[in-house]
Protein backbone atom coordinates (compact mmCIF):
# COMPACT_ATOMS: atom_id res chain seq x y z
CA UNK A 1 0.00 0.00 0.00
CA UNK A 2 1.47 3.29 -1.13
CA UNK A 3 0.58 6.76 0.13
CA UNK A 4 -0.30 7.98 -3.37
CA UNK A 5 -1.17 6.36 -6.70
CA UNK A 6 1.86 8.03 -8.24
CA UNK A 7 4.18 6.15 -5.84
CA UNK A 8 2.54 2.84 -6.77
CA UNK A 9 2.80 3.58 -10.49
CA UNK A 10 6.51 4.44 -10.18
CA UNK A 11 7.14 1.26 -8.21
CA UNK A 12 5.35 -0.89 -10.80
CA UNK A 13 7.30 0.72 -13.64
CA UNK A 14 10.52 0.03 -11.75
CA UNK A 15 9.60 -3.66 -11.41
CA UNK A 16 8.98 -3.82 -15.16
CA UNK A 17 12.25 -2.02 -15.94
CA UNK A 18 14.23 -4.34 -13.68
CA UNK A 19 12.81 -7.41 -15.41
CA UNK A 20 13.33 -5.96 -18.91
CA UNK A 21 16.96 -5.16 -18.09
CA UNK A 22 17.71 -8.55 -16.57
CA UNK A 23 16.21 -10.33 -19.58
CA UNK A 24 18.24 -8.11 -21.93
CA UNK A 25 21.43 -8.95 -20.00
CA UNK A 26 20.64 -12.64 -20.58
CA UNK A 27 19.95 -11.98 -24.26
CA UNK A 28 16.37 -13.17 -23.82
CA UNK A 29 12.99 -11.78 -24.80
CA UNK A 30 10.88 -10.32 -21.99
CA UNK A 31 7.18 -11.04 -22.51
CA UNK A 32 4.86 -8.51 -20.89
CA UNK A 33 1.06 -8.60 -20.64
CA UNK A 34 -0.41 -5.11 -20.33
CA UNK A 35 -3.81 -3.71 -19.40
CA UNK A 36 -5.35 -0.48 -20.63
CA UNK A 37 -7.42 1.99 -18.59
CA UNK A 38 -6.98 5.02 -16.36
CA UNK A 39 -5.17 3.09 -13.60
CA UNK A 40 -2.14 2.15 -15.70
CA UNK A 41 -1.59 5.49 -17.49
CA UNK A 42 1.08 6.64 -15.06
CA UNK A 43 2.87 3.29 -15.11
CA UNK A 44 3.31 3.76 -18.85
CA UNK A 45 4.35 7.41 -18.55
CA UNK A 46 7.04 6.31 -16.05
CA UNK A 47 8.22 3.66 -18.54
CA UNK A 48 8.43 6.33 -21.27
CA UNK A 49 10.42 8.57 -18.93
CA UNK A 50 12.86 5.76 -18.09
CA UNK A 51 13.31 5.15 -21.82
CA UNK A 52 14.07 8.83 -22.48
CA UNK A 53 16.14 9.64 -19.42
CA UNK A 54 17.87 6.36 -18.61
CA UNK A 55 18.00 4.75 -22.04
CA UNK A 56 15.81 1.84 -20.93
CA UNK A 57 15.37 -0.17 -24.13
CA UNK A 58 12.30 -2.23 -25.02
CA UNK A 59 13.97 -3.79 -28.07
CA UNK A 60 13.93 -7.22 -26.41
CA UNK A 61 10.32 -6.94 -25.21
CA UNK A 62 7.17 -8.56 -26.62
CA UNK A 63 3.80 -7.23 -25.44
CA UNK A 64 0.39 -8.87 -25.31
CA UNK A 65 -2.42 -6.44 -24.53
CA UNK A 66 -5.12 -8.14 -22.46
CA UNK A 67 -8.25 -7.17 -24.31
CA UNK A 68 -10.06 -5.11 -26.93
CA UNK A 69 -13.66 -4.08 -27.50
CA UNK A 70 -15.62 -5.95 -30.14
CA UNK A 71 -16.28 -4.63 -32.69
CA UNK A 72 -13.55 -2.00 -32.65
CA UNK A 73 -11.37 -0.51 -35.37
CA UNK A 74 -7.77 0.33 -34.49
CA UNK A 75 -8.21 4.00 -35.44
CA UNK A 76 -11.26 4.54 -33.22
CA UNK A 77 -10.83 6.98 -30.35
CA UNK A 78 -11.64 4.28 -27.78
CA UNK A 79 -9.60 1.39 -29.21
CA UNK A 80 -6.97 -0.24 -27.04
CA UNK A 81 -4.62 0.02 -30.04
CA UNK A 82 -4.93 3.78 -29.89
CA UNK A 83 -4.67 3.86 -26.08
CA UNK A 84 -1.45 1.84 -26.07
CA UNK A 85 0.07 3.83 -28.94
CA UNK A 86 -0.68 7.16 -27.28
CA UNK A 87 0.44 6.22 -23.79
CA UNK A 88 3.35 3.88 -24.52
CA UNK A 89 4.18 2.39 -27.91
CA UNK A 90 4.66 5.67 -29.84
CA UNK A 91 7.25 6.82 -27.30
CA UNK A 92 9.54 3.80 -26.83
CA UNK A 93 11.74 1.58 -29.03
CA UNK A 94 9.46 -1.49 -28.89
CA UNK A 95 9.46 -3.05 -32.38
CA UNK A 96 5.94 -2.95 -33.86
CA UNK A 97 6.06 -6.62 -34.85
CA UNK A 98 6.51 -7.52 -31.18
CA UNK A 99 3.15 -5.98 -30.23
CA UNK A 100 0.05 -8.20 -30.00
CA UNK A 101 -3.39 -6.67 -29.40
CA UNK A 102 -6.62 -8.62 -29.87
CA UNK A 103 -8.10 -7.53 -33.21
CA UNK A 104 -11.51 -5.97 -32.58
CA UNK A 105 -12.25 -6.21 -36.30
CA UNK A 106 -12.15 -10.01 -36.35
CA UNK A 107 -15.26 -11.32 -38.17
CA UNK A 108 -17.67 -13.30 -36.01
CA UNK A 109 -17.06 -16.58 -37.83
CA UNK A 110 -13.27 -16.29 -37.39
CA UNK A 111 -13.27 -15.41 -33.68
CA UNK A 112 -12.68 -18.90 -32.30
CA UNK A 113 -9.74 -19.48 -34.62
CA UNK A 114 -8.36 -15.99 -33.98
CA UNK A 115 -8.46 -16.44 -30.17
CA UNK A 116 -6.65 -19.78 -30.48
CA UNK A 117 -3.96 -18.07 -32.58
CA UNK A 118 -3.56 -15.36 -29.90
CA UNK A 119 -3.04 -18.06 -27.27
CA UNK A 120 -0.54 -19.84 -29.54
CA UNK A 121 1.45 -16.64 -30.00
CA UNK A 122 1.81 -16.30 -26.22
CA UNK A 123 2.89 -19.93 -25.94
CA UNK A 124 5.39 -19.65 -28.80
CA UNK A 125 7.18 -16.84 -26.96
CA UNK A 126 7.43 -18.99 -23.85
CA UNK A 127 4.51 -17.50 -21.90
CA UNK A 128 4.02 -14.16 -20.16
CA UNK A 129 6.81 -13.17 -17.74
CA UNK A 130 4.98 -10.28 -16.09
CA UNK A 131 1.35 -9.25 -16.35
CA UNK A 132 0.17 -5.76 -15.37
CA UNK A 133 -3.51 -5.70 -14.42
CA UNK A 134 -6.18 -3.25 -13.34
CA UNK A 135 -9.47 -4.36 -11.79
CA UNK A 136 -13.02 -3.44 -12.77
CA UNK A 137 -15.75 -2.72 -10.23
CA UNK A 138 -17.36 -6.02 -11.28
CA UNK A 139 -14.21 -7.84 -10.18
CA UNK A 140 -13.09 -8.35 -13.76
CA UNK A 141 -9.44 -8.78 -14.68
CA UNK A 142 -8.88 -8.23 -18.36
CA UNK A 143 -12.52 -8.28 -19.43
CA UNK A 144 -13.25 -11.53 -17.58
CA UNK A 145 -16.62 -10.61 -16.17
CA UNK A 146 -18.41 -12.44 -13.33
CA UNK A 147 -18.95 -16.07 -14.33
CA UNK A 148 -15.46 -16.46 -15.81
CA UNK A 149 -13.64 -19.48 -14.43
CA UNK A 150 -10.04 -20.64 -14.28
CA UNK A 151 -10.50 -22.77 -17.39
CA UNK A 152 -11.31 -19.71 -19.54
CA UNK A 153 -8.84 -18.79 -22.27
CA UNK A 154 -8.73 -15.96 -24.82
CA UNK A 155 -12.29 -15.61 -26.12
CA UNK A 156 -15.12 -13.24 -26.99
CA UNK A 157 -17.14 -12.16 -23.95
CA UNK A 158 -20.27 -10.11 -23.24
CA UNK A 159 -19.48 -7.06 -21.11
CA UNK A 160 -21.24 -6.57 -17.79
CA UNK A 161 -23.67 -3.61 -17.58
CA UNK A 162 -21.51 -1.99 -14.87
CA UNK A 163 -18.42 -2.20 -17.06
CA UNK A 164 -20.29 -0.52 -19.92
CA UNK A 165 -21.47 2.25 -17.56
CA UNK A 166 -17.88 2.77 -16.39
CA UNK A 167 -16.77 3.08 -20.03
CA UNK A 168 -19.65 5.39 -21.01
CA UNK A 169 -17.79 8.69 -20.64
CA UNK A 170 -15.10 7.53 -23.08
CA UNK A 171 -17.80 6.63 -25.60
CA UNK A 172 -19.98 9.73 -25.12
CA UNK A 173 -22.85 7.66 -23.73
CA UNK A 174 -23.44 4.11 -22.57
CA UNK A 175 -25.47 3.34 -25.72
CA UNK A 176 -22.25 3.70 -27.74
CA UNK A 177 -20.20 1.27 -25.63
CA UNK A 178 -19.73 -2.05 -27.47
CA UNK A 179 -21.55 -4.98 -25.86
CA UNK A 180 -18.71 -7.40 -26.37
CA UNK A 181 -14.94 -7.69 -26.14
CA UNK A 182 -12.11 -10.14 -26.77
CA UNK A 183 -10.16 -10.91 -23.61
CA UNK A 184 -7.41 -13.19 -22.39
CA UNK A 185 -9.06 -15.76 -20.11
CA UNK A 186 -8.61 -16.18 -16.37
CA UNK A 187 -6.57 -19.30 -17.19
CA UNK A 188 -4.38 -17.28 -19.57
CA UNK A 189 -3.82 -14.69 -16.83
CA UNK A 190 -2.99 -17.30 -14.16
CA UNK A 191 -0.37 -18.81 -16.49
CA UNK A 192 1.69 -15.60 -16.27
CA UNK A 193 4.80 -16.11 -14.15
CA UNK A 194 4.34 -12.89 -12.20
CA UNK A 195 1.31 -10.60 -11.79
CA UNK A 196 1.05 -7.02 -10.54
CA UNK A 197 -2.46 -5.61 -10.13
CA UNK A 198 -2.88 -1.89 -9.57
CA UNK A 199 -5.98 -0.24 -8.11
CA UNK A 200 -6.46 3.33 -6.97
CA UNK A 201 -9.17 5.37 -5.34
CA UNK A 202 -12.11 4.73 -3.01
CA UNK A 203 -14.25 3.48 -5.90
CA UNK A 204 -12.09 0.34 -6.01
CA UNK A 205 -11.90 -0.24 -2.22
CA UNK A 206 -14.77 -2.73 -1.89
CA UNK A 207 -13.85 -4.85 -4.92
CA UNK A 208 -10.17 -4.90 -3.88
CA UNK A 209 -11.16 -6.23 -0.45
CA UNK A 210 -13.36 -8.91 -2.04
CA UNK A 211 -10.60 -9.89 -4.47
CA UNK A 212 -7.99 -10.30 -1.73
CA UNK A 213 -10.09 -11.51 1.21
CA UNK A 214 -13.26 -12.91 -0.34
CA UNK A 215 -14.21 -16.48 -1.15
CA UNK A 216 -12.60 -17.69 -4.39
CA UNK A 217 -15.44 -17.91 -6.92
CA UNK A 218 -16.30 -17.02 -10.54
CA UNK A 219 -18.69 -14.33 -9.20
CA UNK A 220 -15.54 -12.23 -8.63
CA UNK A 221 -12.97 -13.41 -11.18
CA UNK A 222 -10.16 -11.44 -9.50
CA UNK A 223 -10.46 -13.79 -6.48
CA UNK A 224 -8.73 -16.46 -8.60
CA UNK A 225 -5.55 -14.42 -8.22
CA UNK A 226 -5.43 -15.81 -4.66
CA UNK A 227 -4.43 -19.12 -6.27
CA UNK A 228 -1.37 -17.62 -8.00
CA UNK A 229 1.97 -17.89 -6.22
CA UNK A 230 3.53 -14.62 -7.43
CA UNK A 231 0.92 -11.89 -7.40
CA UNK A 232 1.11 -8.46 -5.79
CA UNK A 233 -1.51 -5.71 -5.47
CA UNK A 234 -0.10 -2.17 -5.71
CA UNK A 235 -2.70 0.06 -4.03
CA UNK A 236 -3.04 3.61 -2.85
CA UNK A 237 -4.40 4.08 0.66
CA UNK A 238 -7.94 4.81 -0.61
CA UNK A 239 -8.16 1.53 -2.56
CA UNK A 240 -6.79 -0.37 0.47
CA UNK A 241 -9.29 1.18 2.90
CA UNK A 242 -11.63 -1.85 3.18
CA UNK A 243 -8.93 -4.46 3.83
CA UNK A 244 -9.12 -6.00 7.30
Binding footprint of ligand F6R on the chain (CB under 6 A): 35-39, 66-67, 134-136, 140-142
Q: Give the C-alpha distances (Å, rounded to integers) separating 128 from 63, 64, 223.
A: 9, 8, 20
Indicate the residue among 60 and 207 with the shorter CB distance to ligand F6R: 207
d(CA 165, CA 173): 8
53 is a catalytic site residue: no
Kindly write down the DSSP assignment for every residue of 9-78, as one continuous string.
HHHHHHHHHHHHHHHHHTT--EEEEE--SGGGHHHHHHHHHHHHHH----TTEEEEE-EEEES--TTSTT
Q: How far is the CB of 25 from ligand F6R (least distance, A)?
A: 30
Q: How far is the CB of 140 from ligand F6R (least distance, A)?
A: 5
Residue nearest to ligand F6R (CB): 134
Indicate the residue among 59 and 165 with the shorter CB distance to ligand F6R: 165
Indicate the residue among 30 and 135 with the shorter CB distance to ligand F6R: 135
Q: How far is the CB of 206 from ligand F6R (least distance, A)?
A: 14
Q: Which of 53, 145, 202, 213 is catalytic?
A: 145
Contact status, residue 11 vs residue 50, Cβ threshold 8 Å: no
Q: How far is the CB of 37 from ligand F6R (least distance, A)?
A: 3
d(CA 142, CA 65): 9
Give catalytic residue positions: 145
Amino acid sequence: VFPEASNASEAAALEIATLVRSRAAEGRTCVLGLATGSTVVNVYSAMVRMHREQGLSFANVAVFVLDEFLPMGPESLQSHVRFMNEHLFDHIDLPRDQIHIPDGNTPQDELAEYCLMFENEIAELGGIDMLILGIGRTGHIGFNEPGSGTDSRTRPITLDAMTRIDAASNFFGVENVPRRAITMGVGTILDARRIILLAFGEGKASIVARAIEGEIAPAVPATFLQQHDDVEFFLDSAAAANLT
